[in-house]
Chains A and B, each alone.
Chain A
Amino acid sequence: MKPLINIENLAVELQSKVILSQVDLSLQKGEIIGLVGPSGCGKTTLLNTLAGFIAQSAGTIEINTSENQQIKISIANMLPAEERNIGMIFQDYALFPHLSVNENICFGLKKLTKAEQGKRCEELLALLELAEFGQRYPHQLSGGQQQRVAIARALAPQPSLLLLDEPFSNIDARLRNELMIEIRQLLKRLGMTAIFVTHNKDEVFTFADKIAVMHQGKVLQIGAPAQVCQHPNSWQVADFLQLGSWLPVVLKAYKNDLPISSLIGQLANCALVNTLVDKSSNTTLNYQLLVKPNDIELCQQQPDNVIVEHIGVTEQGYHYLLSSIEQHTALAFSHLSFYSQELYVLGDKLAIRLKGERFNLYAVHKHH
């Protein structure tokens, strides 16, 4: 089956600064994808480029609006925003303050007759439980109601693709989860394809079918959330998704079962995944191991190697952040996560070691 939207090699330059490069992305009809990444990674620029607010400098965007109709946007054929058949929900909703709720919803329905407009508007008001608010002005509504109006307005012209720019960031944290589920169900019911931007990875896990992690203008990894979490393909992806703590290590030899050593001991017989290890090089520096809390255990036999620098309370017991006692080597670390039912106090010294069999090892490209 043809994808609904297919983005190939998309690039954007603004004032001769590269904002996006080599972006490839494709979505099937009805899929919801969440774009995440640190601020400045280009995710909002990508949305604006798709919407037609920013001109691409290379690449193509294809949208299959129906079985035999296709929109193809390239440098040679820059379609203006109003001809792309795309809907968008803005962070602050961007409701027209001078128009009532009804008028806002009908704004994109100019081509329909008045009667058709009225019918469509009523349907959407009913669908979004806004029936009694049609005559009101946006400032007379609550934040959640405003968002519903924004959704109704975006859906009214029946776009083939819906873009959502941080749609939940203005919603009270307690209502947020409930609302996300509600809206996800609505989109699924309508079979709407959607691209959704957020800086909050938890929103993606609740709202999206797929996740795309962006960094410095590139899409690093796309996939189902579970798969990406299990197999982050780069240090940045793992770091952004906060999948564990980072432990600096030294490789002893370049074999598959190669032994590694760190300030909390050595590992010999473990599987290392994702090792983008440059095997030709003899440099032994700048590798980090992704360590999940249950990869660590206490080990009384050893001399103490870490010190408690922070204590938090969670449902899984006490959460400690540990740093190495020795701080003046290249292997020194801090903020290593560790859970325990035991209570320690700040400054306590402990002995820990690594356990487990599978680890992700990365060459480090720490951004500054």
Chain B
Amino acid sequence: MLTGNKNTSWKFFSWFFALALMSPIVVMLWGSINTSSDLFTHLWATVLPEYIRNTLVLGVLVALLSFCFGVPAAALISQTNIVMGKQLRWLLMLPLAMPAYLVAYLYTDLFDYAGPVQRLLRAWFDWQSPNDYYFFDIRTIGGAAVVIALVLFPYVYMLTRTAFEQQDRNLLRASRLLGCTERQSFYQVALPLARPAIAVSLALVTMETLADFATVQYFAVNTLTTAIYDTWLGYSDFAAANAIASVLMLFILFIVVAEQRARAGQRHQSSRPNTEHERKQLSFAQQIIASIFCWFLVFSGFLLPVILLLAMAVDYADYNQLVALIATGKNSIKIATYSATIATLIALMLALFQRLHQSRARMIPLQISGFGYAIPGTVLAMAMLATFGPLDHAINDVAKAFDFKAPGLILSGTIFAIVFAFVVRFSAIANGTINAGIGQIPKSLDLAPGSLGVKTLSTIFRVHLPLLKSSILVAWLLVFVEAMKELPAVLLLRPFNFETLSTQIYQLISDERLEQGALGAILIVLFGLLPIIFLNRQKDSK
């Protein structure tokens, strides 16, 4: 247990960082107080109900589709002898490496009326106009939901598969002996037991969907995020934009809390992981259907977009572009590295505080520091300016008062703001990973070295940190990749002449010249593969 001087400073810093990460949210909520009711009345009378309906439909559809993609895939990989299961196991994680806005662009382009697929069909069948045939419209809520789900389902797949693999096989055996067929056992035991994993991953997917600006825009789907844009950029009403964003965030938090409450009474813990369990032998027909299903997901979530990008890169790449890419790539890596390192360190500090400290409120810092995940990047960027703008002013005023040269906007005008925004936004990921890792360390180890008279801090360095090594690395990599992909916050907060891979791609996309950014996009995807490769290797060595 923590004692003495270390105790208080640890407590102080934990609360300090947690509150600092909370501050943009507080600023956002505060900013929404002076909302004029006129604008709301107008929006409510015209477009808002439709936006809300679209938001709900999109959220539910994406969750549903991610469930339909992720859970069967997890079941097939973990419970059957599907052909090439070993390869599919990690292939199914690859879509995670694709930024959603990129896939959205590629797919809307591909399946649009004027896109290559429909052009080809028209050429083949000699159709002249849209009235001659039916083709699904990609720019609908349904199209958006499918494409977003294709990129986000790996969250559901990964967590659910792990849950299935860690289930006590005796539970399934018991259910068989109590008269359930294989199929019934799956539905009545395996699936309910995986519920926490499924729920957590669906909550993640829903959060990502609702907080996404760029992706839904390509689909011409108007959601609450559109309302935030309209009120802020169109009507110049920052307060109303904050209010809508706050509502959106509360909505997301509500989902998370409701889910946690719903399973508060149950405890799911496996004492004996299901290592070499008996796999269901698929019949020939089942093999074919299962393989088509899994390969469809890998193909449409990863392979096809990558092939499209590669084709573009081959056509358009040149030497100058590569040189420019190195500079922007360096910027991306720089901010992603800072963000990942800081987020991981803070997560470690808060999670260990929660575990080792004795104060009654020890859980709070860890919890509140993760709220940022529910804020859309653009709103977060605005909140960031609202938070650091005044601070910067104070610093400059003080400097002036003491006759120093004004240092300028050292907080809001530099990459500090971007890194801070990323840490706020992705802390939840680092917190979750590291806290799960700490949960696996037996409590007895907290006490044992203490009783040997070793100081707490060195206990942590000698016992906890070595045991957490892989969790720390996974947390770092996940944040790193998310930071590489993140767009809106960098776009708005970056200093002069500062391009990252994502802003560059975004600009080229918005000018419909993605071809020239294809190399950069491939680079982001390659970086995204790192944690997946690492996660996979780690699982195998276990």
Contacts and interface: CB of A to CB of B under 8 A. Distances in A.
**Is any CB of A less than 8 Å from a CB of B in the complex?**
yes
Given A96-B189, A110-B179, A111-B179, A88 B174 contact: yes
Nearest to B172: A94
A107 B175 contact: yes
A92 B179 contact: no
A290 interface: no
Contact of B178 (A91, A98, A108): A108
Interface string A139-163: 1000000000000011011010000
B297 interface: no
Interface string B265-278: 11111011000001
B233 interface: no
Nearest to B271: A92
Given A92-B168, A97-B269, A98-B266, A82 B173 contact: no
Contacts of B189: 96
A19 B180 CA distance: 27
B181 interface: yes
B192 interface: yes
A1 B170 CA distance: 35
Interface in A75-122: 80-82, 84, 86-88, 90-92, 94, 96-98, 107-108, 110-111
Contacts of A51: 173, 176-177
Given A98-B193, A137-B265, A90 B179 contact: no
Of residues A54, A86, A90, A139, which shows the largest number of chain B Cβ atoms within 10 Å of its Cβ?
Answer: A90
Contacts of A54: 278
A138 to B, nearest CB: 9
Given A54-B278, A90-B170, A92-B168, A82 B266 contact: no
A154 B178 CA distance: 7
B175 A97 contact: no
B174 A157 contact: no
A111 B180 CA distance: 11
A107 B175 CA distance: 8
Contacts of B271: 92
A54 B189 CA distance: 20
The 5 closest A-B pairs by CB, nearest first: A108-B178, A94-B170, A81-B176, A94-B174, A90-B170
A108 B180 CA distance: 8
B195 interface: yes
Interface of B: 168, 170-171, 173-182, 188-189, 192-193, 195, 265-269, 271-272, 278
Contact of A98 (B168, B170, B179, B192): B192
Contact of A137 (B168, B171, B266, B278): B266
Nearest to B175: A107
Contact of A108 (B171, B179, B269): B179
A94 B188 CA distance: 14
Q: Is the interface of A mostly helix, strand, loop or mixed?
A: loop
A154 B177 CA distance: 8
Nearest to A94: B170
A110 to B, nearest CB: 6
Contact of A97 (B176, B179, B266): B266
Contact of A92 (B176, B193, B272): B272
A185 B202 CA distance: 50
Contact of B177 (A82, A97, A137): A82
Contacts of A137: 265-267
A205 interface: no
Nearest to A153: B178
Nearest to A108: B178
Of residues B175, B179, B182, B266, which shows the largest number of chain A Cβ atoms within 10 Å of its Cβ?
Answer: B179
B326 to A, nearest CB: 51
Contacts of B268: 97-98
Given A90-B173, A98-B193, A98-B268, A157 B178 contact: yes
B177 A87 contact: yes
Nearest to A150: B174
A88 B173 contact: yes
B278 A82 contact: no
Contacts of A98: 192-193, 195, 266, 268
A96 B185 CA distance: 11
Contacts of B188: 107
A183 B140 CA distance: 64
Given A51-B173, A53-B176, A108-B177, 5 more contacts: A82-B181, A96-B193, A108-B178, A108-B179, A154-B177
Given A90-B173, A107-B175, A97 B180 contact: no
B181 A80 contact: yes
A94 B171 contact: yes
A52 interface: yes
A51 B172 CA distance: 12
Given A53-B278, A90-B174, A96-B189, A82 B267 contact: no
Contacts of A153: 174, 178
26 contacts: A51-B176, A51-B177, A53-B278, A82-B177, A87-B178, A88-B174, A88-B177, A90-B170, A91-B170, A92-B168, A94-B171, A97-B266, A97-B267, A97-B269, A98-B193, A98-B195, A107-B188, A108-B177, A108-B178, A108-B179, A137-B267, A139-B267, A139-B269, A157-B178, A157-B179, A159-B177
Contacts of B171: 94, 96
Nearest to B170: A94
Given A53-B278, A80-B181, A139-B267, A97 B174 contact: no
A51 B193 CA distance: 23
B450 to A, nearest CB: 28
Contacts of B193: 96-98
A61 to B, nearest CB: 15
Of residues A81, A96, A139, which shows the largest number of chain B Cβ atoms within 10 Å of its Cβ?
Answer: A81
Contacts of B272: 92
Contact of B173 (A94, A97, A108, A159): A94
Contacts of B168: 92, 94
B170 to A, nearest CB: 4
A137 B269 CA distance: 13
A96 B167 CA distance: 11
Interface string A323-367: 000000000000000000000000000000000000000000000
Contacts of B178: 82, 87, 107-108, 153, 156-157
A96 to B, nearest CB: 6
A90 B458 CA distance: 42
Contacts of B175: 96, 107
A82 B170 contact: no
Contacts of A80: 176, 181-182
Contacts of B170: 90-92, 94
A142 to B, nearest CB: 15
Nearest to B174: A94
Interface in A195-254: none
Nearest to A91: B170
B278 A52 contact: no
A86 B181 contact: no
Nearest to B193: A98
Nearest to A48: B173
A3 B452 CA distance: 61
Contacts of A139: 267, 269
Given A92-B272, A98-B193, A81 B173 contact: yes
A154 B175 CA distance: 10
Interface string A40-60: 000000000001111000000
